[in-house]
Structure 1
């Protein structure tokens, strides 16, 4: 059997969903499970809605109406007005209606997961209905009953044993009778609350199903020709990799390459399942295959740019050296606040850490750190990571930039710059 994952860009409009159905038709002789993200920029829109609701902002209902209008415009382009999918979508929106009726009493992360998760529930209802409309048989699967997580909202930790048991018990029979359509990015707790697996986590969802079902392969359909050595939004002369090793792909995603979610690769590597990254606008193209490959020679460096970064410098209030005890305690605070460390650098008197800026988490972390340490920080920074770099390229990328932190090793260079 095969697992396909379609991202938000591939289902952003009626034409995208039509194209998805044509791709699925080509594989109608296969057992196929497809994982679908929220449509277009819906996750961003729902994030704004979650923040507005949590803060009881005046534009909360306006933001909600914009999300509804976007989805109903796609529905009207795909279906007759009497199609039952309109009822399915309306019933899905009820989950948001119920929340907005009351003032927020839960934590922001809990509210975020309950609201933002609706994007995937909507997209999969629409995709399932359209696949059936074009003559294929598809079944909608609520992933929240199959991927079981703990209560870490926005970063749900998967219970692999329970998850595989659920998937192996029910999904194979569903695959025998048609295409299975499910949601990326989501999980469920033992109390039947929704969790999310981390931003862009739909790739991880596909990896979980593939691993538990021992799939032949996973294909993630993207708006790029495959895995590139750099983001084409920032760099003009990118090259595509025909193949990549699991190890190199893990390194790339760890450092922030957005083409694949960081947690995706390891389960596939453990199971020996190849990952194909292919363009949804050219489904016959070869794309990139990630599998067991020996160490590769790279003609060009891999360049990864992460924006919206923060850099914090921590020193002891008594001017003592930064010790192992300090490091242990600081790491514990980062872990408690779900703040992922991207770069860490120590000196005798200070510790500098670069991480993704998430305002709510940062403010809580900052208040805790200030109780015991002197703290300085900068925000609105960029982190550039170079794999297989040459010093000439390093100089070129940092020329005229204000460098706040620089760290190099044998294969990797990381630079934090202002702006």
Structure 2
């Protein structure tokens, strides 16, 4: 077998497996660029399948009829498999599509009240299982269920990795499989010691690739995207984007923390610890240079523009006009942690403390119930949070002109602001 340091990990996201043509392109990339050594392929759910599964889950959890969207999801996966000439029934080394779809239907039909996040993981995880079932057969590769190997705790929807157990599991299982040819496994998923499925957070397949690379001592990780590399902005929302040919782990971690959509925030640290380079390449143009993220030094970078939509600005005011003290902040932070709302930006005045978070109606209503007796709470929804990393005066003008700002903040290298765009609740 090849030495472990020569292992390549390829990660393909939803856009790169969105239909039969995309999967054929994936097969061509793997055969052309991944055939010179051991290869582990991490695959996300196809296209917008995760969104569709979330919709199904919401309907089923609320007791509403979900037959039509479940039928649409079923027919989509079966039609892709048929176009690729892939049988939908069981095979010796992988579950069949029909089996997985039946299990999904059974899971939706038996949801119980409560345990919202726990049951979410058991349903939404089917996207990656279905996608890898198809991709593994298209590649004639071994299908691997990652859930018994990537051990997590019971933090539903954001499972925390048990690193020693996960590394032991992977090193005991993968080398022999990789010696026989490519292995295809799921991104985004993990499992508890009791066998329940967990997920690692939305867009968590990048993180899966990093976990696998860290534990197996991979030589590199390549994330195949629909963009030319790591750009200074999302080209869907910003014109005249700039590609970074190379960028350091530290700079990338900060960009990911602020919401850059190319890389999942947790991805970089395990790679940086073992100095494993991360390549961001285009599956639309595999010959293009892309970006390498590694241990390097560089000069001043072009300003990075990062947009986070679907934000909520929440303001807490003391009811008796006393100052917002450390004791008040302890209560607020504790409640935010309890409902698992992450703070993207915060600011305080004498009697008010404001935070910007992702909007979740369920989590916000729980937060209000916890704190409304102690604080007067105002919030706006439907907002956008913009971050400019390595800003200058021109970049600030570019984004703030003709916008009404609800909150702004700057440090030496970062400028952030929240835009009005939602209704005042």
> What TM-score, normalized by structure 1, do the two folds share?
0.96
Note the C-alpha offset of 1:99.
1.8
**Of 122, 125, 131, the match for 2:130:** 122
SS at match of 2:232: coil
Deviations 1:277-299 (A, max 9, x none): 0001111211000001114312x
> What residue number does 1:15 align with?
21
Give SS of 2:135's match.
Answer: helix
- Give yes or no for the alignment of 1:243 onto 2:246: yes
For residues 362-373 of structure 1, the aligned pairs below 5 Å read 362-373=364-375
Residue by residue, what CA displacement relative to the aligned partner does 1:40-75 show, whole Å, maximum 9, x if unpaired?
1100100100101111123x1111111111111101
Call closer, same or farther: CA 1:28–1:317 in 2, change over 3 Å.
same
How far residue 154 of structure 1 moved from its aligned partner, in angstroms, is: 0.7
- Structure 2 match to 1:406: 408
User: Partner of 1:261 in structure 2?
Assistant: 264
Determine if contact 2:384/2:420 at 8 Å carries over to the other structure: yes
Alpha carbons 1:341, 1:353 under 8 Å: kept:
yes
Structure 1 outlier segments of 4+, above 2 Å: 80-87, 100-106
Alignment partners' CA distance in 2, 1:32 and 1:100: 35
1:382 corresponds to: 384
Cα distance in 2 between the residues matched to 1:394 and 1:139: 50
**Offset at 1:160?**
1.0
Q: Which residue is 1:357 aligned to? A: 359
Shift of 1:23: 1.1
TM, length-normalised to structure 2: 0.94
> Does residue 68 of structure 1 match 2:71?
no
1:16-415 to 2 correspondences below 5 Å:
16-26=22-32, 27-58=34-65, 60-79=66-85, 88-132=96-140, 138-298=141-301, 300-415=302-417
Match of 1:339, SS state, is: coil
Unaligned runs of 5+ in 2: 1-6
Instruction: Report how far residue 373 of structure 1 moved.
Output: 1.2
CA distance in 2, matches of 1:366, 1:289: 44
1:34 to partner: Cα distance: 0.6
- Which of 110-119 and 395-404 deviates more? 395-404
Deviations 1:100-155 (A, max 9, x none): 333533422122111110000000010011111xxxxx211111011111111111
SS in 1 for 2:98: helix
SS at match of 2:147: helix
Instruction: Check the 8 A contact 2:88/2:98 in 1, yes or no.
Output: no
Aligned partners of 2:60 and 2:109 also within 8 Å = no
Range with bigger deviation, 365-374 or 271-280: 365-374
- State the 1:80 CA deviation: 5.7
Q: Deviations over 1:330-360 (max 9, x none)?
A: 1111111111100011111111100111221
CA RMSD of aligned residues (A): 1.4
Distance verdict in 2 for CA 1:321–1:65, change over 3 Å: same
Alpha-carbon displacement from aligned partner over 1:5-26 (angstroms, at most 9, x marks no partner): 0000000011111111111112
How far 1:87 sits from its partner (Å)?
6.8
Alignment partner, residue 3 of structure 2:
none
Pair 80,3 (structure 1): closer, same or farther in 2 beyond 3 Å: closer
Kindly state the Cα deviation for residue 363 of structure 1 after the two structures are TM-superposed.
1.3
Distance in 2 separating the partners of 1:143 and 1:189: 11
Distance 1:117 1:81, change over 3 A: closer
Contact 1:53 1:104 (C-alpha < 8 Å) held by counterparts = no
